[in-house]
Structure 1
Amino acid sequence: MPIIINIDVMLAKRKMSVTELSNRVGITMANLSILKNGKAKAVRFSTLEAICRTLDCQPGDILEYKSDEDTQ
């Protein structure tokens, strides 16, 4: 998939656990795991906003586009 989710990178930069992010954002661990592992088909803007607010970052810090040609 050409969309890369960099939540792990931002969590490491903010020294925050996945559990803490889950609690602060109000998203289940299961759904956060699906998003974090790139298995999600979509993400709500409200969820993205809450994640960015909690991690004090921009959407571009979390979402990255790489074409299929770049990943080969």
Structure 2
Amino acid sequence: MPIVVDIDVMLAKRKMSVGDLADRVGITPANLAVLKNGRAKAVRFTTLAALCDVLECQPGDLLRWEAKDSADG
């Protein structure tokens, strides 16, 4: 998928655990793991806003677009 989720980067910068982030955002650690590992098909804006609020960042700090490699066809 060309959208990459960089939650790990922000967690490391904030010295925060996945469990703590999940608790503070109000989602399950399993759902956060799905998002963090790039397996999510969608994310609610309310969840994205909560992540940004807790991590004190912008949506662009968590999500980025990566061009598909032309060799992938």
Give TM-score scaled by structure 2 length: 0.93
Post-superposition CA distance 1:22-53 (Å, at most 9, x none) = 00000001100000000000000000000000
Written as runs of structure 1 = structure 2, the 5 A alignment for 1:1-72 is: 1-69=1-69
The number of residues matched between the two structures is: 71
Unaligned runs of 5+ in 1: none
Q: What is the RMSD of the two structures over their aligned residues, measured on CA atoms?
A: 1.2
Unaligned runs of 5+ in 2: none
Sequence identity of aligned pairs in percent?
63
Tell me, in whole angstroms, the C-alpha distance in 1 between the residues paired with 2:41 and 2:56.
Answer: 24
C-alpha displacement of 1:69:
2.5
Tell me, in whole angstroms, the C-alpha distance in 2 between the residues paired with 1:58 and 1:47.
Answer: 13
Q: Once superposed, which parts of structure 1, at least 4 consecutive aligned residues long, lie more than 6 Å away? A: none
Larger Rg: 2
C-alpha displacement of 1:16:
0.4
